[in-house]
Amino acid sequence: MEILNSVELLSRIQFAFTVSFHIIWPTINIGLGLFLLILEISWLKTKKIEYLNLYKFWVKIFALAFGIGVVTGIPLSYQFGTNFSIFSNMAGPIIGPLLGIEVMTAFFLEAAFIGVMIFGWNRVPKSVHLFATIFVVLGTHNSAFWVIAANSWMHTPQGFEIIDGIIHAKSWTEIILNPSFPYRLAHMLTASYISVSLLIAGVSAYFLIKKISIETAKKGLSVSLLVLSFLAPLQIFLGDLHGLNTKEYQPAKIAAMEGLWNTQKGAPLVLFAIPDEENEKNKYEIKIPKLASFILTHDFDGEVKGLNEFKKEERPPILPVFFAFRTMVGLGVLFFLIAFTGIILRFRKKLYSNHIFHKLCMICTPLGLVATISGWWVTEIGRQPWLIHGVLKTKDALSPVKPEVISISLLSFIFVYCLLGISFLYYASRLVKKGYNFEKNEDWLKVATHTTHLTTKNSKND
């Protein structure tokens, strides 16, 4: 097979596969950490046992996801060197320090305090435990900030000069606050919060259907849908801003996303099509006239660049970008509708009794993560053939490694990550089946609440 001889394709597939699998876990942890913090504060303030139950349940999922996030993150930090050594050599002076700051301000913070968060209940006072949660949340957000700064710089590089083939930094402020960074950061953080809202809503809905831990489940569903009804519309707005930014700096990506071949005024919005790269046209096209122009230029007759504007070797692969974009946007609209329905049901006092809606929430449990991955595929495949836009192409960035060696490591990654994914689903589903019915005589619960009697009684009833 041709793929097996191409260091470029193999390296790209390996990086794409490992990073796609990895992004699931930080997406869960960024949002879930914040959710846990809110729960802990609510519990400390109100002393309502539902909040503590929710914390206790979700911190287990958090710990599972965190463990997988750590071990699948290490391959990424090393793959820059093992598979893209020319890139590391050339762009190391920019990317290296940014990732170094990430390590120092995020990874250590998370790793040190997650131990306290999980195991510390019997060892520290409540206030120290709260600070541990705060530090972990700070860590996940710092991590997102720096890694997205580095990633965004590769999409919209600035503040540098090239001397003897090496990229030198000129202004760190310009590098960090590069044009696409604020949009990408906001879009990603919101994606994470939405994904976690859907996760919690889905699991809570399952409990309501199965009639386990009903009071706690109600709280979970209520809070998560409330958050979703703010964030779903916000995300559509942020996505639009991000798109406008991309149109300015990476027009080829936008053309691939929209499935537009020819530059035109009053460009239509292609709802569905099968782009035909060979003949440079769309098959089975369903479109709404002028809408793409309106969305991208806020003018029905605005001009949008088509793919033909770019040489064939300067275009990203159209099919995956085109379909991933539709998956992301479609799901975004679905989440908006779910949030809207939730509001209506809440006003009609049917939020906790409408099982059809609960089933819908259950179906949506993993879809926030699917939308997030799709979004990353759009932006990352869409930047090809460039690794650093306008500066370095992927094909010129590779390591002097044999394709056979990469094939073996790629296959191993696929095998091991499938095992990891299956194990996670197995243990997470076991946790969910147990529900919020925690075993009796649990030490930390007693110590943590200092109201032993009341607590055990409540948690039995719940």
Partner 1 sequence: MIDITVICALLIVLGIILYVILDGFDLGVGIIFPFAPDEASKNKMMSSIAPVWDGNETWLIYGGGILFAAFPIAYSILLPALYIPLMLLIFALIFRGVAFEFRMKEKKSRWIWDYSFTFGSTLAAFSQGLILGSLIEGFEVENMQFSGGSFDWLTSFSITTGFGVVFGYALLGASWVILKTENQTKEWAKNITKPLNFILGLFVMMVSLKTPLQYPEIADKWFSFPNFFLLLPIPLITFFCWLKIFDSLSKGRDLQPFIFTVAIFILSFVGLGYSLWPYIIVNNLTIWDLAAPAKSLQLVFITLMISFPIVLGYTLFVYKLFKGKVLEKDSYY
Between residue 105 and residue 134, which ones bind partner 1 under the rule CB under 8 A? Answer: 105, 107-116, 118-120, 122-124
Phi, psi of 110 (to 5 degrees): -60, -50
Footprint on residues 367-406 left by partner 1 (CB under 8 A)? 399-402, 405
Nearer to partner 1, 122 or 158 (CB): 122
How far is the C-alpha of 235 from the C-alpha of 336, rounded, in Å? 9
Query: Do 72 and 29 form a contact (C-beta atoms < 8 A)?
Result: no
Nearer to partner 1, 67 or 366 (CB): 67
Nearest Cα residue to 375 out of 168, 124, 195, 112: 195
Q: With binding defined as CB under 8 A, does residue 411 bind partner 1?
A: no
Footprint on residues 167-206 left by partner 1 (CB under 8 A)? 168-170, 172
Q: How far is the CB of 407 from partner 1 (least distance, A)?
A: 12
Look up residue 315 and give its DSSP letter.
Answer: S
**Interface pattern 280-319 for partner 1 (x via CB under 8 A):** ----------------------------------------
Footprint on residues 149-168 left by partner 1 (CB under 8 A)? 163, 166, 168
Nearer to partner 1, 7 or 291 (CB): 7
Q: How far is the CB of 80 from partner 1 (least distance, A)?
A: 7
Look up residue 3 and give its DSSP letter.
Answer: G
Q: With binding defined as CB under 8 A, does residue 337 bind partner 1?
A: no
Nearest Cα residue to 151 out of 79, 94, 71, 207: 94
Alpha-carbon separation of residue 167 from 89, 150, 157, 221, 388 (angstroms): 9, 14, 11, 50, 11
**Interface pattern 89-108 for partner 1 (x via CB under 8 A):** x-xxxxxxx-xxxxxxx-xx
Q: How far is the CB of 103 from partner 1 (least distance, A)?
A: 4
Q: What share of the chain is helix, strand, coil (3-state, %, to 5)?
A: 75, 5, 20
Torsion sign, CA atoms 437, 442, 447, 448: negative
Q: With binding defined as CB under 8 A, does residue 241 bind partner 1?
A: no
Q: With binding defined as CB under 8 A, does residue 418 bind partner 1?
A: no
Look up residue 84 and give its DSSP letter.
Answer: -
Structure tokens at 304: 């949008």
Nearer to partner 1, 6 or 263 (CB): 6
Nearer to partner 1, 237 or 415 (CB): 415
Q: How far is the CB of 69 from partner 1 (least distance, A)?
A: 10
Question: DSSP labels for 248-281?
Answer: HH-HHHHHHHHT--S-EES--EEEEEEEETTTTE
Footprint on residues 131-150 left by partner 1 (CB under 8 A)? 135
Nearer to partner 1, 250 or 409 (CB): 409
Nearest Cα residue to 342 out of 327, 357, 330: 357
Torsion sign, CA atoms 281, 284, 289, 295: negative
Looking at 46, 412, 451, 452, which residue binds partner 1 (CB under 8 A)?
412
How far is the C-alpha of 282 from the C-alpha of 261, rounded, in Å? 8
Q: With binding defined as CB under 8 A, does residue 85 bind partner 1?
A: yes
Nearer to partner 1, 78 or 272 (CB): 78
Q: How far is the CB of 157 from partner 1 (least distance, A)?
A: 15
Nearer to partner 1, 166 or 333 (CB): 166
Nearer to partner 1, 261 or 438 (CB): 438
> Exposure pattern of 10-46 as b/e (b: 16+ CB <10 Å)?
bbbbbbeebbbbbbbbbbbbbbbbbbbbbbbebbeee
Q: How far is the CB of 432 from partner 1 (least distance, A)?
A: 12
Footprint on residues 37-76 left by partner 1 (CB under 8 A)? 56, 60, 63-64, 66-68, 70-75
161 dihedral zone (left: phi>0; alpha: psi -120 to 50; beta): beta
